[in-house]
Structure 1
Amino acid sequence: MGFGSYDESEQENQDYDTDFEDDDGVSTDETDHDGDVEFEFTASNDELLDRLEEIKENT
């Protein structure tokens, strides 16, 4: 077999388990959140932009 080639018979013999049970999932009603999220930023915009430039230079 050359680079990138494959055995077509392997592709034909794949079994997929598509039997999904209703009890296997997560109920989204159990994880509702009715709260607030607040962020307090201690850095100025200039400090954040400087930090972003540092990150860009290191990648």
Structure 2
Amino acid sequence: MGFGSYDESEQQQQTADDDEDVEAVNVHENDHEGELSFESDLSTDELVSQLGEMKDEE
């Protein structure tokens, strides 16, 4: 079959089987609430400079 071709028999009405034992994925199972903080002795300019150097290395 070429691109865009299809088998008409595959286009018949399809039904989902509700009888199957399928586990749902819980995307909130490992949600965490909290804070992240850090302290640095570097100034904002020094941190931005380091970021620029890291980007240049890539």
Query: What range is the shorter-chain TM-score in?
Result: 0.3 to 0.5
Q: Give the TM-score of the pair, scaled to structure 2.
A: 0.41
Structure 1 or 2: more helix by fraction: 1
